[in-house]
Structure 1
Amino acid sequence: MSHNDAGNREREPGSPIIKSVETSLAIVDELQARDGAGVSELADAIGKSKGTVHKHLITLRKHDYVVKEGDTYRIGLRFLDVGGYALHQVEGLQYIEPKVRELADITGETVQFSIEQRGRSIVLDRKAGKKGVFSRARIGKRFYMHQVAGGKAILANLPDERVREIVACHGLPAATDETITTEAELFEELEAVRERGYAFNIDESTHGLCAVGVPLTGPEGSVIGAFAVAGPSHRMRGERFESEIPDTIRSVINELELNLAHS
């Protein structure tokens, strides 16, 4: 289930890039970010002519990756098919998904499982318990690893060289005033995560949201991904946050790791 790739390979100078493909992908990104847009708006956003943008949209629409409603273009459900296929390529997911639901039921909070791919934390499953709150996370959502509990739990179990590659590629951008923004601070945090066995996110990705992240390791000891339980800061505090929830996650993960070892 390793999804590692050379952290900054895509940024190497001289790498062959097809500009027209990059234009199509930029249009897709803008349509997602803007929840739909017209030709002129897209042309201004990506710095291309309206004629060029229109040609790309026609091509994307022909293959159902884009749909048109009046003068507004939106992301098409063809991406759902591609995303579903990508998700179910992940080995062992059939064992992981029930544990996400189990943790959501036990804690009542929002639970997600994520992996690292190309230096980002990617959410593969997410369930909300009875008290679960809204967050930016959804299946397929990418996060900077240093900003989230699950990401830090994974980073703490990667070689230092790989962590440095990820930082060199993606930087340490801040989501809030509490986000780690220096490499020295990150490595200090990762050492603390290794010592306790789990990571905290206290207002580091979203103000008022706290989370606990615990790594999932494979039979050979390599990190597969991480489970995270997130909730509002008024509930995620004290002994419940610092020991009860981490112990609950680790108990569920121990059972899962046994299942994966014998599957």
Structure 2
Amino acid sequence: MSSTVPVKATKISLEIVEVLRQLDGAGVSEVSDRVGRPTSTVHDHLRTLEQEEYLVKEGDKYYISTRFLQLGDQARSRKKVFEIARPEVNNLAERTGEHANLMIEEHGLGVFLYKARGPDAVQLDTHAGMRVPLQTTALGKTIMAFRSRAEVEAILDRHGLPAVTEKTISDRKELFDALDQVRGRGYAYDDEERVKGMRCVAAPITDDDGRAIAAVSVSGPKSRMQDDRFTNGIPERILRCANVIEVNLTYS
């Protein structure tokens, strides 16, 4: 008979990998403190992960190895939307000069599947594989706006509404009001809701039933995302980009 109880050893290994990702490398004692496990247990997991080439050791510290690149690239390549959207996202970044992004929802979180950097783009912390609460980004809000109410409620029950900046939506009623507005205009805004000083506009990529399977966006510094460019120019480009991706998905 199958069991829904997680395998403890596997769970510990994954906790350790996540801590190493967050800390960008750490020693046995530091990892032990973070995961709340005995140093002997943590040491055994670290050594096993190193022997299986999922970690590398430099001095007294362990780091995630490049083997995860292979796993991540394979996982991403399975997403049909990635292959079809990539050239359009590149084109969007080139034409706007800013960051253009592609996001999907997985396990109730927003996952950056791809990012293209335009010639004028500023430095940002986003990268392929990065996971964020959906309501903190225009991408995530536009995905939620084109999902069922029950689906969104389940996501919020699981992850809550964590505030990342003082402008992050952290109230459930406020969020659903915002999602109504997104559905009405067809795209979402992010006004310094995840990163201070940055604004973003996103549109959904939907299937034949109108359900969002991904979202595409342009993000840039507030000083450049102003007036007609923010309210009309960028949204028009993003909506065209999303439409092209949807058509290509349908007929590919």
- Shorter-chain TM-score tier: over 0.9
2:155 to 157, 163, 166: 166
1:245 to 229, 234, 237: 234
For the 8 Å contact 1:219–1:257, the answer to whether it is kept is: no
- The aligned residue for residue 77 of structure 2 is 88
Deviation at 1:212, TM superposition (A): 0.3
Moved more, 42-51 or 154-163: 42-51
Cα distance in structure 2, aligned partners of 1:51 and 1:254: 54
For the 8 Å contact 2:89–2:241, the answer to whether it is kept is: no
- The aligned residue for residue 25 of structure 1 is 14
**Partner-residue secondary structure (3-state), 1:92:** helix
Q: Per-residue displacement from partner, 1:97-153 (whole Å, max 9, x unpaired)?
A: 001100001100001100111111111110110111122210000010000000000
- The aligned residue for residue 45 of structure 1 is 34
Cα distance in structure 2, aligned partners of 1:94 and 1:23: 34
**Partner-residue secondary structure (3-state), 2:190:** strand
After TM superposition, the structure 1 = structure 2 runs for residues 1-263 of structure 1, keeping only pairs within 5 Å, are 15-263=4-252
Deviation at 1:15, TM superposition (A): 4.2
**Structure 1 unmatched ranges of 5 or more:** 1-13
Cα distance in structure 1, aligned partners of 2:7 and 2:81: 35
Cα distance in structure 2, aligned partners of 1:51 and 1:223: 46
Cα distance in structure 1, aligned partners of 2:126 and 2:141: 16
Deviation at 1:31, TM superposition (A): 0.7
Cα distance in structure 2, aligned partners of 1:255 and 1:23: 43
Cα distance in structure 1, aligned partners of 2:248 and 2:151: 28
Cα distance in structure 2, aligned partners of 1:94 and 1:217: 16
Cα distance in structure 1, aligned partners of 2:209 and 2:108: 21
What letter matches 1:22 in structure 2? K
Cα distance in structure 2, aligned partners of 1:53 and 1:16: 21
**Partner-residue secondary structure (3-state), 2:224:** coil
Cα distance in structure 2, aligned partners of 1:250 and 1:95: 16
**Number of aligned residue pairs:** 250
What letter matches 2:132 in structure 1? F
Deviation at 1:52, TM superposition (A): 0.7
TM-score with structure 2 setting the length: 0.96
